[in-house]
C-alpha cells in the first residue's frame, strides 16, 4: 500500500490539485491495497487554491509517513520556500522516494536542486522562463512527462492525468490503469513522448477518421501499414498524414508503433510468450523489430519490463 502526500500551499493550482486527488485520493474499493492519500501542507494558516477556493488540508512537519509526494504546482516567479518544507522534501528525495511534479510544480523541484543534471518538463507557456532560470536542468520540449529515477515531471493541464495514469500502471499494471482511465473518460494510451500541444485530442475526434483509429486498434495484431489506415479512412496518403499529425500531434507510423507497444506491455503483464510469439501477436514481423520499438518507446527491453512488473 502506497502512502501519498499531495502538497498544498496558498494559491495552489486548483486544476492540477484536483487531478492529483482524482487519480490518487478517490476511493477505489475494487482494488486491493489502493493508495492511501492525504492533502498536506507545511503551514498552519488557512489555504486558498486558485479561484479563492478555501481548502482544508493536514498540517505536517515531516514527510516520514509517506512514500510518494505530489507537487501539483508552484509559482514560476516567486522563490520563497519555507525552510522546513525545503529540508523535508530534499530529505524525501534523497531517500529515493518518488516525487511527482505536475505542471509548474517542476519549479519547486528545480529551486531545491533536485532536477540538476536531470531531464524535466513543465507547461509550454513556462518553458522559456524555466530554461533561463535553471540552465543546469535538461529541459525537454514538447513532451507529456519525464521520469528520472524517482522524480517525475508532467507538462501542463491534462498531462497531469497522463502522468498519473503512468504511475498507476507502474504500481498496479496495465489493466488497472486502463480501468482508471475509462472511469476518467480519457484515453489510456497517450505516451510520455507525445506532443503536449494537440489541437484536437483523439477523444474529441468524430466521424470516419475516429472510426479508422478504432478499426486500427481492433486489428493492431495484423501487420497494418499507414497506407492501410489511409485506405480505411478513404483518404489519400498525403491527406491522411496531414490530418493525423494535426489531430494527434504525432505521425501515423509512430502512433501505430505506440499502440503495438501498448498491447505488448499488456501481454507481458498477463502472459508468458517467446519474443517471436509476442511480436506476431502485436503485429510485428519479428522479434528484432519488437525489441527495437519497445526500447524506443518504453526505455527498457521486453524482458526487463516483464521482470519489473512481476515484482508488483
**C-alpha grid cell, residue 120:** 524535466
Pairwise CA distance, residues 251 & 257, whole Å: 10
What percentage of the chain carries pLDDT values higher than 70? Answer: 90
CB of 180 closer than 8 Å to CB of 23: yes
CB of 66 closer than 8 Å to CB of 89: no
Pairwise CA distance, residues 238 & 144, whole Å: 27
| pLDDT over 80 (residue 163) | yes
Each residue's pLDDT tens digit, 94-105: 999 999 999 999
Q: Where are the domains of the chain?
A: 3-179, 199-312
Each residue's pLDDT tens digit, 166-216: 999 889 987 888 888 877 766 554 555 554 443 333 433 445 567 888 888
Q: 61 to each of 44, 56, 83, 230, how far by Cα in Å?
A: 10, 16, 11, 58
Average pLDDT on 102-109 reads 96
DSSP code, position 125: G
3-179 — its CATH code?
3.40.50.880
Each residue's pLDDT tens digit, 46-82: 899 999 999 999 999 999 999 999 999 999 987 789 8
What pTM does this model have? 0.69
CA torsion, ordered 8, 11, 12, 13, to nearest 10 deg: 160
CB of 235 closer than 8 Å to CB of 243: yes
CATH number for domain 199-312, candidates 1.10.10.60, 2.60.200.20, 1.10.10.10, 1.20.1630.10: 1.10.10.60
Pairwise CA distance, residues 166 & 191, whole Å: 9
Pairwise CA distance, residues 281 & 33, whole Å: 32
Average pLDDT on 130-150 reads 92
**Of 151, 180, 157, nearest to 72 (Cα)?**
157
Amino acid at each position: 500500500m502506497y502512502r501519498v502526500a499531495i502538497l498544498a500551499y496558498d494559491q495552489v493550482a486548483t486544476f492540477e490539485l484536483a487531478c492529483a486527488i482524482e487519480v490518487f485520493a478517490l476511493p477505489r474499493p475494487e482494488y486491493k491495497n489502493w493508495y492511501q492519500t492525504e492533502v498536506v501542507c507545511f503551514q498552519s494558516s488557512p489555504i486558498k487554491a486558485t479561484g479563492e477556493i478555501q481548502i482544508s488540508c493536514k498540517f505536517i512537519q515531516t514527510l516520514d509517513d509517506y512514500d510518494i509526494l505530489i507537487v501539483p504546482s508552484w509559482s514560476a516567479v516567486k522563490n520563497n520556500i519555507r525552510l522546513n518544507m525545503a529540508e523535508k522534501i530534499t530529505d524525501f528525495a534523497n531517500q529515493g522516494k518518488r516525487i511527482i511534479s505536475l505542471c509548474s510544480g517542476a519549479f519547486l523541484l528545480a529551486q531545491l536542486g533536485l532536477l540538476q543534471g536531470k531531464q524535466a518538463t513543465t507547461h509550454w507557456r513556462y518553458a522559456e522562463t524555466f530554461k533561463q532560470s535553471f540552465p543546469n536542468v535538461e529541459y525537454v520540449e514538447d513532451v507529456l512527462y519525464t521520469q528520472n529515477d524517482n522524480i517525475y515531471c508532467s507538462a501542463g493541464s491534462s498531462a497531469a492525468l497522463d502522468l498519473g495514469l503512468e504511475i498507476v500502471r507502474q504500481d498496479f499494471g496495465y489493466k488497472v490503469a486502463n480501468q482508471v482511465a475509462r472511469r476518467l473518460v480519457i484515453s489510456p494510451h497517450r505516451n510520455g513522448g507525445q506532443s503536449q500541444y494537440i489541437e484536437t485530442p483523439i477523444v474529441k475526434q468524430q466521424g470516419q477518421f475516429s472510426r479508422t483509429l478504432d478499426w486500427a486498434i481492433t486489428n493492431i495484431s495484423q501487420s497494418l501499414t499507414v497506407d492501410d489506415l489511409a485506405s480505411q479512412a478513404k483518404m489519400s496518403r498525403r491527406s491522411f498524414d496531414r490530418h493525423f499529425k494535426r489531430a494527434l500531434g504525432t505521425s501515423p507510423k509512430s502512433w501505430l508503433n505506440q499502440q503495438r507497444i501498448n498491447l505488448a506491455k499488456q501481454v507481458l503483464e498477463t502472459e508468458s510468450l517467446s519474443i517471436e510469439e509476442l511480436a506476431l501477436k502485436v503485429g510485428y514481423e519479428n522479434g528484432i523489430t519488437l525489441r527495437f520499438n519497445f526500447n524506443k518507446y518504453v526505455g527498457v527491453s521486453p524482458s526487463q519490463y516483464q521482470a519489473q512488473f512481476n515484482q508488483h
